[in-house]
Amino acid sequence: MRLMTAACLTMATLIAAQAAEVDVQALFARAEQDGRVGTARKTMPVDVRPATPGEVVVSVIKGEGKETQSPPAEAGDMVVRNRCEATGNEEILVAAAKFAERYEGPVGPAGPDGWQPYRPKGVTMLYLTLAPDEGPFSFMAPWGEPMVARPGDAIVQDPRDPSDTYRIAAEAFACTYEVVEPASAG
């Protein structure tokens, strides 16, 4: 298993190195003009634990390897684990302020591993699904780490803060988000 994980991380690093850098906000603006942007919200419950100050969370997508790496956690930040077997239940670091805006709970007791169930607040986000000829490409995530987007992935954006734009793997989007309003053009 460790050899497979190392191979996936190496493959993801090679893809990232070869992916063209894209201005994702400009891409998003063009997609909006073309009617390719819809709205969606995260609805699938998640598991949460407090982050240890200084902890770095590496998000790993099953079958792809490393998606991104967080900056060091600060006091009050939380580690969120998606409940999506298809992507390996990837973990992300969520800053304290964003966490309070986007999640509520706990909605149940902690498990023996310390993770507690939380529910997304269903914040409506703009989304764009990448076409087969779009990608792979890389862009800078809001936390300063490069992300690689691939065809079929969703790029989501907080409509109140366009700088809060990031990638969600296609399978993760399908199993954790609900489309509120589909894009008008395909």
For residues 130 and 88, give the distance between their C-alpha atoms in angstroms, rounded to a whole number.
22
The domain spans of the chain are 20-181
For residues 184 and 186, give the distance between their C-alpha atoms in angstroms, rounded to a whole number.
7
pLDDT digit string (tens) for 43-101? 999 999 999 999 999 999 999 999 999 999 999 999 999 999 999 999 999 999 999 99
Task: Identify the band that residue 13 occupies on the pLDDT scale cut at 50, 70 and 90.
Answer: very low
What's the first-to-final CA gap in the chain, in angstroms?
A: 39
Determine the pLDDT at residue 185. 78
pLDDT digit string (tens) for 115-138? 999 999 999 999 999 999 998 999
3-state helix, strand, coil in the chain (%, to 5): 25, 40, 40
The stretches of 65-177 forming alpha helices (DSSP H) are 96-102, 170-176
Determine the pLDDT at residue 18. 55
* pLDDT score of 24 more than 70: yes
pTM attached to this predicted model: 0.84
Determine the pLDDT at residue 159. 95
